[in-house]
A and B are shown apart, each in its own frame.
Chain A
Amino acid sequence: MAFIEVENLEKVYSDGAVETPALRGVSFAIREGEFVAIMGPSGSGKSTLLHILGFLDRPTRGTYHFGGKTIDDWTDGELARIRNKKMGFVFQSFSLLPRTTTLDNVKLPLLYSSVHSSHHDELARRAIEAVGLAHRLNHEPSQLSGGERQRVAIARALVNDPDIIFADEPTGNLDSKSGQTIMEIIQRLNEKEGRTVILITHETYTAEHAQRIIHLRDGTIESDIPVHHRHEAKNHFIK
């Protein structure tokens, strides 16, 4: 059984009388441990899809099975718990809490978990070491470079040891060298640690780090093909 399976997924945003379809019947399946990139121009519905896959939004129509179960059976509270335990998010704009140290930013998901607070520091430190920022433990976001901020965000996504990572344009605000470092970390999370990764991007080059690319256009799947010549971030000087 697929880890993630969506069928005829539709999402319509309605603003009073005006209805705007964002997704018009999307179907695909993703195996556990797969690295999938979702591509498409802006307005193609890729962010909407990511939000639905990440339980941040519910579909208007269609089915979504996560880990073999339909999400319709879960309450918002249960979805929040799964999001906390099994999912990690990385955003284009990093979304770190200002005036908050690296350590405390990374600990944030643990506040909402069932992990006892005596383990929080240890878990956060381990996640920060994994992204190579042990020397920036007590720095605030304003004291960090863009690449370092995104690495803090990845550490935060990792701290609860999630099964799946959602990365929404993670390199979009970074220079190419920092972007390369981020992609290297993401590839490692997938290959070495076996985590499922769903990456959203509008850059073909970035998308080609994945095993498979789903192209969206106007809310439907234009193509869904495997990547034959994958980029290995650690071997390349980008662009």
Chain B
Amino acid sequence: MTLHDYAKTSFAGIRSNKSRSALTILGIVIGIAAIILIMSVGKGAENLILEEVRGLGSRTIIVEPGREPRGPSDFGEIFTNSLRSRDVEALRNPSYVQGLKELTPAVAGAVTVSYGSETKRTNFRGSTELIAKILELYPSEGSFFEEEDVKSLAPVAVIGADVKKELFGSSDAAGQKIKIEGRLFRVVGVLPSKGKASFIDIDDMVFIPYTTAQKYLLGINYFHAIIVQAETEKIVDRVARDIELTLRETHNISDPDKDDFHVMTQADMVKRIGTISKILSVLLISIAAISLVVGGIGIMNIMLVAVTERTQEIGLRKAVGATDKNILIQFLLEATFLTAIGGLAGVILGTALAFAAAVILSRTISLNWGFSFPVSAAFLGIGVAACIGLIFGLYPARRAALKNPIEALRHE
């Protein structure tokens, strides 16, 4: 029997009961569609986050307190107050860290801002004036606060486009006094809108000197982060290494496992996001895989029914010379074709849903959400579906192959 004969025979089996075949593969269709959707949307989200991280600039290095968490139980390690002024002084020293261009300590928090009767809940960043250079912030109105403001703990603020719009509407904001947590601040600059394509939502943010923030808003004397910019991209890793060695010295740490800080370059962040998104994908795909197993059991069930229904056909085929192997292959191929068709339908459905999701996400929350067709996932989806047919079709096909031709012929 040639492959063509097998294919013809198997397709005839599927065609002879179209609506049942269609219902049978529904589980497979849904499972594969879910996997394609997850992989495509996941890829879109990952790309978006990576774009954001790259937006930080490839020369940017971030130092955060606490050692890098190694697992959920380790999470508390992040909340420490290990980064202080002496660290900033040490890092600024060129004999410790070479190739460092800019450096600013940073603090952050959530606050209520108000102007007249308008109030708004927003986030603030406290830093030196250098944050403007690192994040490339150029006020469209007024100017960024200056070194002098940082030194003098001046109550000045640079506000994002959304904050300005909500508090001031279309009137000028520069020079006006706003209240942050009940304390008066002078607006010195307004940032142009960067659009919402940002996880660090610059538009919904207030920038103030870190000294002011530490003293009047937070009441702390440590930093939430130190943001560093290296002179060139090439030396980023070396600068990061220098920072680690310097901080270990200032913190009297000899064992790197006991670090109370961690240094992240853009490359590190990209890597970490990749890991997180992979873990998430695996998790979600495992859930979708359950639907595939359920679908596979459905296939097995229906194939068993089909084998019983077609007992006479099996007996006849054996009478005219079919071997057990011929029958086995016929039913196995039938199950495999059935699930492969389901896989194909799933890929098409999943791709359509992913495309719709990309369009809806881009329109409604104006994120720059890219649609990517996961070619590898498509092949994987059809392949996995076919394998399910092969695995769950084996038992019914064996039952068919081992049927006694006499009993099969007698069956009416």
Contact = CB atoms under 8 A, between A and B. Distances in A.
Nearest to A112: B321
B411 to A, nearest CB: 10
B319 A89 contact: yes
Contact of B323 (A57, A80, A117, A156): A80
A56 B321 contact: no
Interface stretch (A95-103, A206-214, A231-239): A95-103
Nearest to B316: A95
Contacts of B319: 54, 56, 83, 89, 95
A45 to B, nearest CB: 13
B321 A84 contact: yes
B323 A77 contact: yes
Contact of B320 (A84, A100, A117): A84
B364 interface: no
Interface string B302-328: 000000000011011111111111100
Interface string A83-110: 1110001010101011110000000110
Contacts of A122: none
B200 interface: no
Given A51-B406, A111-B5, A117-B2, A97 B321 contact: no
A230 to B, nearest CB: 28
B282 interface: no
A76 interface: yes
A81 interface: yes
A99 B317 contact: no
B386 to A, nearest CB: 23
B320 A108 contact: yes
Most buried by B among A109, A113, A160: A109
B324 A56 contact: no
A56 B406 contact: yes
Contacts of A111: 1, 5, 9, 322
Given A51-B406, A83-B319, A108-B317, A76 B324 contact: yes
Nearest to A156: B320
A209 to B, nearest CB: 23
A112 B9 contact: no
Contacts of A112: 1, 317, 320-323, 326
Interface in B391-412: 404-406, 409, 412
Interface residues of A, number: 27
B171 interface: no
B16 interface: yes
A121 B172 CA distance: 89
A229 B16 CA distance: 49
B132 interface: no
Contacts of A156: 320
Interface in B1-33: 1-2, 4-5, 9, 12, 16
Contacts of B409: 56, 91, 95
A113 B316 contact: no
A127 to B, nearest CB: 13
Contacts of A51: 406
A85 B320 CA distance: 9
B412 A80 contact: no
Nearest to B330: A111
Contacts of B325: 77
Contact of A99 (B1, B16, B315, B318): B16
B237 to A, nearest CB: 66
A93 B9 CA distance: 22
A56 B405 contact: yes
Most buried by B among A83, A97, A111, A113: A111
Most buried by B among A54, A77, A108: A108
A81 B321 contact: yes
B376 to A, nearest CB: 37
A76 B12 CA distance: 27
Given A56-B405, A57-B406, A117-B4, A97 B313 contact: yes
Nearest to B5: A111
A109 B323 contact: no
Contacts of B2: 117
Contacts of B322: 80, 111-112
A57 B320 CA distance: 14
A112 B319 CA distance: 11
Contacts of B4: 117
A116 to B, nearest CB: 9
A109 B321 contact: yes
Contacts of A109: 320-321
Contacts of B323: 76-77, 80-81, 112
Nearest to B2: A117
Given A95-B312, A112-B1, A112-B326, A100 B321 contact: no
Interface of B: 1-2, 4-5, 9, 12, 16, 312-313, 315-326, 404-406, 409, 412
25 contacts: A51-B406, A56-B318, A56-B319, A56-B406, A57-B405, A76-B324, A77-B323, A80-B323, A83-B321, A84-B320, A84-B321, A89-B319, A89-B320, A91-B409, A95-B312, A95-B316, A95-B409, A97-B313, A99-B16, A100-B12, A111-B1, A111-B322, A112-B323, A112-B326, A117-B2
Given A111-B9, A111-B322, 19 more contacts: A56-B405, A57-B404, A57-B406, A76-B324, A77-B324, A77-B325, A80-B318, A80-B322, A81-B321, A89-B319, A91-B409, A95-B312, A97-B316, A98-B16, A108-B320, A112-B326, A117-B4, A117-B5, A156-B320
Query: Can you list the 6 inter-chain pairs with the closest CB atoms, starting with the nearest?
Result: A84-B321, A109-B320, A112-B321, A80-B323, A95-B316, A56-B405
